[in-house]
């Protein structure tokens, strides 16, 4: 029977491609790729011949394309492989639309797991990994970023943020404002690549390091969660039971 397979692709080091990914690239009936040129480039580097039809499947067309792809899963028993430019599809990348529609239509979905910058950075950060939250990219606008970070002031779990070199300097100022200077954090850049680097320190250490030596390439920020004291002092980000009770009267 046909199915959808979400497959992770390398985030820098091509040797992280799994055997399963290679087999799927060679044998899937359809490969739905975020960027078809990058897909062929990856296949070339892996020495794999892409056997099936390759279609573009990205943020701008994923809702429109999902049902057409699933029609082929349903009527032709097709295997549709979904890959993004790097890492795990659906994690700040296309993929969610086809997963949702497949679930709604009762079609099979599975995953060929592999690299993703979230877990790589979390594990290398040295911060607690037993509970963490993935925060994706912070809002672009300074005012929204500041407001959003306020809602995280009482968050006890280790927080993982994706970041770009264009905004890292501003984001570090905002993290410093929101969480103060002393929390531990890690800036993890160019993971799995030749110039992989992890800078660890307090928030103010990393802010200073970013000012002195602006980091290039791709990066993930991992920030320690609130202590008991910080959590109890933080502005509540939602209404407490008491506040709700007052509103209900």
Least CB distance to ligand SAM at residue 211 (A)? 20
Letters for 131-170 (x = contact with ligand SAM by CB under 6 A, - = none) are -------------------------------xxx------
In the bound state with ligand SAM, the residue whose beta carbon lies nearer, of 82 and 86, is 86
Least CB distance to ligand SAM at residue 191 (A)? 3
Q: Tell me: does residue 187 bind ligand SAM (CB under 6 A).
A: no
Letters for 93-132 (x = contact with ligand SAM by CB under 6 A, - = none) are x----------------------xxx--------------
What span, in angstroms and rounded, lies between the C-alpha atoms of 235 and 53?
Answer: 52
Q: Are 176 and 207 in contact (CB under 8 A)?
A: yes
Instruction: Show the DSSP H helices in the chain as ranges.
Output: 19-27, 36-46, 62-76, 96-105, 117-125, 142-150, 168-179, 203-212, 228-233, 241-248
Quote the tokens at residue 139. Answer: 């809002």
Q: What is the total residue count of the chain?
A: 249
Which phi and psi (to 5°) does residue 77 adopt?
55, 35
Letters for 68-87 (x = contact with ligand SAM by CB under 6 A, - = none) are ----------------x-xx
What span, in angstroms and rounded, lies between the C-alpha atoms of 100 and 224?
Answer: 32
What's the sign of the alpha-carbon dihedral 121, 125, 126, 132? negative
Q: How many residues bind ligand SAM (CB under 6 A)?
A: 24
In the bound state with ligand SAM, the residue whose beta carbon lies nearer, of 161 and 179, is 161
In the bound state with ligand SAM, the residue whose beta carbon lies nearer, of 79 and 116, is 116
What span, in angstroms and rounded, lies between the C-alpha atoms of 51 and 61?
Answer: 23
In the bound state with ligand SAM, the residue whose beta carbon lies nearer, of 12 and 184, is 12
What span, in angstroms and rounded, lies between the C-alpha atoms of 230 and 222?
Answer: 18
Q: Which of 5, 12, 152, 172 binds ligand SAM (CB under 6 A)?
A: 12
Interface positions with ligand SAM (CB under 6 A): 11-12, 84, 86-88, 91-93, 116-118, 162-164, 188-193, 218-220
């Amino acid at each position: 029977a046909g199915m959808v397979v979400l497959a992770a692709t390398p985030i820098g080091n091509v040797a992280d491609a799994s055997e399963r990914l290679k087999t799927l690239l060679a044998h899937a009936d359809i490969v739905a790729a975020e960027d078809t040129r990058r897909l062929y480039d990856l296949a070339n580097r892996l020495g794999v011949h892409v056997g099936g039809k390759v279609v573009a499947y990205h943020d701008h067309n994923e809702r429109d394309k999902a049902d057409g792809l699933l029609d082929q899963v349903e009527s032709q028993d097709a295997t549709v492989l979904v890959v993004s430019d790097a890492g795990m599809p659906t994690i700040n990348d296309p993929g969610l639309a086809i997963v949702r529609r497949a679930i709604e239509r009762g079609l099979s979905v599975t995953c060929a797991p592999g690299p993703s910058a979230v877990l790589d950075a979390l594990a290398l950060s040295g911060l607690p990994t037993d509970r963490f939250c993935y925060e994706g990219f912070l809002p672009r606008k300074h005012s929204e970023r500041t407001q959003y970070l306020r809602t995280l002031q009482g968050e006890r779990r280790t927080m993982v943020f994706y970041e770009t070199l264009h905004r890292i300097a501003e984001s570090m100022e905002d993290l410093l404002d929101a969480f103060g200077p002393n929390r531990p954090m890690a800036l993890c850049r160019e993971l799995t690549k030749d110039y992989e680097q992890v800078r660890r320190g307090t928030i103010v250490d990393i802010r200073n390091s970013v000012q002195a030596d602006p980091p290039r390439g791709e990066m993930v920020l991992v920030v320690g969660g609130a202590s008991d004291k910080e959590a109890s002092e933080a502005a509540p980000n939602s209404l407490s039971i008491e506040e709700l009770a007052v509103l209900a009267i």
